[in-house]
Amino acid sequence: MRLLLMSDTHLPKRAKVLPAALLDELPRADVVFHAGDWVDAATLDLLEGRCARLVGVYGNNDGPDLRARLPEVAYVELGGLRFGMVHETGPAQGREARCAARFPDLDVLVFGHSHIPWDTTAPSGLRLLNPGSPTDRRRQPHCTYMTAIVEEGRLMDVELHRLPQR
């Protein structure tokens, strides 16, 4: 099962459209995750229309229209792995312990907010993934998203993809 992870698209404030390279990945993904800060409902509509399966949450910059359509925290089981997703996890220091305590029954937690890619594993075994942002790199060298494979109850081939500068 192929996964595509993104967050913090901030359309149309940070960019007018999603990058073509990211849009080209959508049909290849079995499940697409968006970890919040969509900003406009048109991006949600676009992804719902193009994705085989979409899992999304709202972020701190998402208004009432998106909050009415999306949860604050999403849970899904895929290929024997228990995934959760939330927009914010707090400061980087202590993140693994804090998230492992908050989500003790998960195998993987996808999050956003910082626009900083993150891939670590807590001592409890919880894998934490932040795909960065495909449209707003902030102080990062590149805009980014992630892909991964779920196979035989394992998360494999987690890859951070850099997008071309606009």
Summarize the confidence of residues 15-40 as an average pLDDT.
96
Contacts (Cβ under 8 Å, ≥6 apart) of 86:
35, 36, 57, 72, 73, 74, 109, 111
- Residue 63's nearest CA partner among 36, 81, 99 is 36
Q: Which residue has the higher pLDDT, 14 or 145?
A: 145
Distance CA 15, CA 140 (A): 16
pLDDT at 166: 62
Summarize the confidence of residues 135-148 as an average pLDDT.
94
| Token pair of 60 as six digits | 């701190």
pLDDT at 133: 97
pLDDT at 139: 87
Number of domains in the chain: 1
Residue-number span of the structural domain to which 17 is assigned: 2-163
Task: Look up residue 11 and give its DSSP letter.
Answer: T
Per-residue pLDDT tens digits for 78-131: 999 999 999 999 999 999 999 999 999 999 999 999 999 999 999 999 999 999
Distance CA 18, CA 21 (A): 9
Per-residue pLDDT tens digits for 31-84: 999 999 999 999 999 999 999 999 999 999 999 999 999 999 999 999 999 999
Does 165 have pLDDT greater than 80? no
- Residue 9's domain is classified under what CATH number? 3.60.21.10
